[in-house]
Homo-oligomer: A and B are copies of this chain.
Amino acid sequence: MNILFEHRLNELQVHKTKELSFPPHLHSEIEVLVVTKGSITIINEGEMRQIHKGQTAIIFPNSIHEYVKQSSGEMVMYIVNTQIVPEFHAIFSNKLPVDFVIDTQKIETQLTEINQYFLGFRQTKAEMLSRAYLHLFFALLLNNLPLHSRPKTQAPSTVVQVIRYVSEHFTEPLDLQSVASEVGCSVYTVSRIFSHKIKIGFRNYLNQMRVDYSRRLLRETDLKIVDIALECGFETLRSFNRAFTRTYNQTPSEYRQR
């Protein structure tokens, strides 16, 4: 879907984050949330769960997930390309967790050490050590995670098709019409999916996906801001600046300089 993504971005992102709010989306990376304070609320594949300190959520690749705004929690978020944990490639491709929330109090010491390691530097430089810590990270998590086989793919619902299509194509020029024709339904249906199911307007949704991706490019590349705007699917620098500032209360260049 995206050339930059393949060639320039890190295969691992680790952030400490407080407030987390994001509409339903999916991606091929594994996402892990180690909650370190308070609680957060996630909806994963339609299942809403409140996740507390001492628990960890593990979102398997291509699962539709959503973060519901709550300001009481702190967490360390891992977004990991499955290719850098080849040990578990088969598991992440063929299995799904019976329950995506794990009690991690027993392994809290180890998780604290691993979090400290990854939060200790902005970019993943010491590859050998990072791979080893990731290997241990997932071994500790999967060791206590009952799994079942991924169900045979049924025809996905229109809602799932819409989310999947936009998640995979948000860097391209998109409008309700093009999404509708790709998914094979009416513009009216797509519009109602956004307002009634995803509960956020199409334009807003698209901007959220785009500004979130732009933050990675701002952090991890030296691309000019205007090029990032275009790369993320914005038509002008102005529309990028406006959307970014509305979401994060700072301009892209302020964010980059931080």
Contact = CB atoms under 8 A, between A and B. Distances in A.
A140 interface: yes
Interface stretch (A127-135, A190-198, A219-227): A127-135
A82 to B, nearest CB: 16
Contacts of A129: 139-140, 143
Looking at chain A's contact residues, the main secondary structure is helix
A168 interface: no
A126 B136 CA distance: 13
Contacts of A189: none
Contact of A135 (B109, B126, B136, B140): B136
Nearest to A143: B129
B142 A128 contact: yes
Give the oligomeric copy count.
Answer: 2
B128 A132 contact: no
A88 to B, nearest CB: 9
A87 interface: yes
A177 interface: no
Contacts of A87: 128, 131-132
Nearest to A114: B136
Interface string A138-157: 11101100000000000000
A110 interface: yes
A19 interface: no
Interface size class on chain A is 10 to 19
Contact of A132 (B109, B113, B126, B139): B139
A247 to B, nearest CB: 38
Contacts of A109: 113
A193 B82 CA distance: 55
A130 to B, nearest CB: 9
Interface in A79-132: 87, 109-110, 113, 126, 128-129, 131-132
Contact of A113 (B110, B131, B138): B110
13 contacts: A87-B131, A87-B132, A109-B113, A126-B143, A128-B139, A129-B139, A129-B140, A132-B132, A132-B135, A132-B139, A132-B140, A135-B136, A136-B136
